[in-house]
C-alpha cells in the first residue's frame, strides 16, 4: 500500500488519507489501484492539472470500480468459454 501512496504523491501531489487507500486495496487488486492512479494522472494532466483532490479520488474510484467489474466479467467469460470448449471436445 505504501508504494501506491508514493505513486499517487509522485504523480498527483497530495494523497488522500491512508484510510482511502485501505478501502481501495480491500475492494480492488493492487494492480487495479495502480492502473487507476495512472489513469487519474493522465486525466489530471489533460485538464492542465486542474483536478481537485476530491475530483481525483472520485475519478480514481470510478476507474477502479469499472476495471474490477470488467476483470470479473472477463474472468466469467473465460470460464464459460472454457466450459463450452471442454463440452464440445468431449462430444467430438
pLDDT at 79 over 70: yes
Per residue in 28-73, pLDDT (tens digit) is 999 999 999 999 999 999 999 999 999 999 999 999 999 999 999 9
SS3 annotation, 40-86: HHHHHHHCCCCCCHHHHHHHHHHHHHHHHHHHHHHHHHHHHHHHHHH
Cell numbers at residue 61, please?
Answer: 474510484
- What whole-number distance in Å separates Cα of residue 25 and Cα of residue 80? 28
Q: What is the pLDDT of residue 67?
A: 97
pLDDT at 91 over 70: no
Mean of the per-residue pLDDT values of the chain? 94
Q: How big is the chain by its Cα radius of gyration, in Å?
A: 18
> The whole model's pTM is what?
0.85
Q: Report how many domains make up the chain.
A: 1
If phi over 0 gives left and psi between -120 and 50 gives alpha, with beta otherwise, what is residue 49?
left
Q: What percent of the chain has pLDDT over 90?
A: 86
Q: b/e map of 56-71 (b: 16 or more CB within 10 Å)?
A: bbebbbebbeebbeee
Domain span at 69 = 2-91
Amino acid at each position: 500500500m505504501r508504494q501506491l501512496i508514493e505513486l499517487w504523491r509522485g504523480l498527483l501531489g497530495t494523497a488522500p488519507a491512508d484510510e482511502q487507500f485501505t478501502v481501495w486495496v480491500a475492494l480492488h487488486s493492487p494492480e487495479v489501484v495502480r492502473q487507476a492512479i495512472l489513469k487519474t494522472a493522465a486525466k489530471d494532466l489533460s485538464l492542465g492539472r486542474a483536478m481537485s483532490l476530491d475530483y481525483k479520488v472520485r475519478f480514481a474510484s470510478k476507474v477502479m470500480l469499472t476495471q474490477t467489474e470488467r476483470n470479473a466479467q472477463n474472468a466469467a467469460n473465460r470460464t464459460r468459454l472454457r466450459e463450452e470448449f471442454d463440452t464440445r471436445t468431449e462430444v467430438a
